[in-house]
Amino acid sequence: MRWLVEPGFFSSPQVHSALAAGGVAALVSAVVGVFVVLRGQSFAGHALTEASATGGSGAVLAGADPLLGFVGGAVAGAAAMDAAGSRNLRGRDLGTGVVLGASIGLASLFLYLTTTTSATTGVTQTVLFGSIFVTGRSTLPLVVGLGALAMAVVALAYRPLLLSTVHPDLAAAAGARTRLVGLALMVALALAVGLSSLAVGAVLSTALLVGPAAAALRVARRMRSALLAAAGLGVGATWGGVLLAYDSADWGSSREPLPVSFFVVALVVLAYAICSVRSGRLGRRHGGGEAARPPA
């Protein structure tokens, strides 16, 4: 195993915390991401990553916990998008675009103020590209609690959420409270984005949210299979990224590890490419173009 795992990996407290925090973030992001991809809300997820960056940079500037800032910024962004948008697609896109632009501007301001008015170093790296290896054990209960809250929201709204996702017209005809269901998904999405920002940074958290879900939906034919596959791909890519980043410290003379976020995103892209190839083969075998969308 020496060629695969460098000595000290399994005994390192930093690695243990990184695996735990990253695993929770990846699991929540994958489950929420399946609904986000099926509902065509990837742009909303991207906008919330910028809102998360605003919250994280603001928290660092105020001397608060960045995780609280990430989650708080994403939740505030979700609320603003819900208030600014409307029920038609164009209105939602306009509201999302407004939140996206405002978040980028505020995040750049907060990062500028932090780097010019304090001696804090590495703030931009932490906010934009993650700091999973410096996640302390004291932060893990908060990570687990927020992750459990997001999963509970999805579980409680699962049936109407699934119906409104796969058959929106049927859900409306059946009297489902689609507005409330959509709001519940936005809350879960905000929590997922906040957690993934801690793992891979606000800029790259979209990859952890959309990538595993999109890959799973390429090959899965059932909704539950898609959820399980996305969770496995997301957690696997995150844990693999932690391992490769740890090992990379011995790859050169600088003894400095490469960013975890780079490896996580690279593994997510690789997984999507493999699933896309497999989907094409399955489609040709069954006389179709792609694997079927998971039914209700």
Q: Which residues of 225-244 are buried (b: 16+ CB within 10 A; e: fewer)?
A: ebbbbbbbbbbbbbbbbbbb
**Start-to-end C-alpha separation, the chain:** 43
pLDDT of residue 242: 92
Asked whether residue 293 is domain-assigned, the answer is: no
When pLDDT is averaged across residues 269-295 and rounded to a whole number, the result is 71
Handedness of CA 296, 33, 39, 289 (dihedral sign): negative
155-194 pLDDT, tens digit each: 999 988 888 888 877 777 777 777 788 889 999 999 999 8
Tell me the pLDDT band of 95, cut-offs 50, 70 and 90: confident
Asked whether residue 2 is domain-assigned, the answer is: no
Provide the residue type at 177 as one letter. R
Provide the residue type at 3 as one letter. W
When pLDDT is averaged across residues 128-138 and rounded to a whole number, the result is 78
What single-letter DSSP state applies at residue 138?
A: G
196-240 pLDDT, tens digit each: 888 788 777 888 999 999 999 999 889 999 999 999 999 999 999
CATH number assigned to the domain comprising residue 71: 1.10.3470.10
Asked whether residue 24 is domain-assigned, the answer is: yes
Asked whether residue 31 is domain-assigned, the answer is: yes
pTM for this predicted structure: 0.85
Please state, in angstroms and as integers, the Cα–Cα distance from residue 4 to each residue in 45, 227, 236, 240, 262, following that order: 34, 29, 15, 11, 18
Tell me the C-alpha distance between 239 and 233, whole Å: 10
More confident residue, 289 or 280: 280
pLDDT of residue 291: 46
Tell me the C-alpha distance between 123 and 289, whole Å: 46
Cα-to-chain-centroid distance, residue 227: 14
pLDDT of residue 287: 56
Extract the tokens encoding 85: 């948008």
Judged by average pLDDT, the poorest of 67-71, 167-171, 225-229, 274-278 is 167-171
Residue with tokens 């949210």: 209
Please spell the DSSP secondary structure of 10-73, one letter per residue.
Answer: TT-HHHHHHHHHHHHHHHHHHHHHHHHHHTT-HHHHHHHHHHHHHHHHHHHHHT--HHHHHHHH
pLDDT of residue 37: 94
Spatial contact of 174 and 52, defined as CB atoms under 8 Å apart: no
pLDDT of residue 90: 62
Tell me the C-alpha distance between 235 and 97, whole Å: 30
Asked whether residue 8 is domain-assigned, the answer is: no
35-46 pLDDT, tens digit each: 999 988 888 888
Extract the tokens encoding 80: 């603003």
Asked whether residue 25 is domain-assigned, the answer is: yes
CA dihedral 74, 201, 153, 89 (to 10 degrees): 60
Domain ranges, residue 179: 13-285
Query: Given a cut of 80, is residue 292 above it in pLDDT?
Result: no
Domain count for the chain, please give it.
1
Tell me the pLDDT band of 275, cut-offs 50, 70 and 90: very high
Asked whether residue 292 is domain-assigned, the answer is: no
Tell me the C-alpha distance between 229 and 236, whole Å: 10
Mean pLDDT of the chain: 84
Spatial contact of 167 and 296, defined as CB atoms under 8 Å apart: yes
Please state, in angstroms and as integers, the Cα–Cα distance from residue 43 to each residue in 21, 52, 89, 120, 204, following that order: 25, 14, 12, 32, 14
pLDDT of residue 35: 94
271: left (phi over 0), alpha (psi -120 to 50) or beta: alpha
More confident residue, 79 or 230: 230
Query: Given a cut of 60, is residue 86 above it in pLDDT?
Result: no
Asked whether residue 294 is domain-assigned, the answer is: no
3-state secondary structure 66-107: HHHHHHHHHHHHHHHHHHHCCCCHHHHHHHHHHHHHHHHHHH
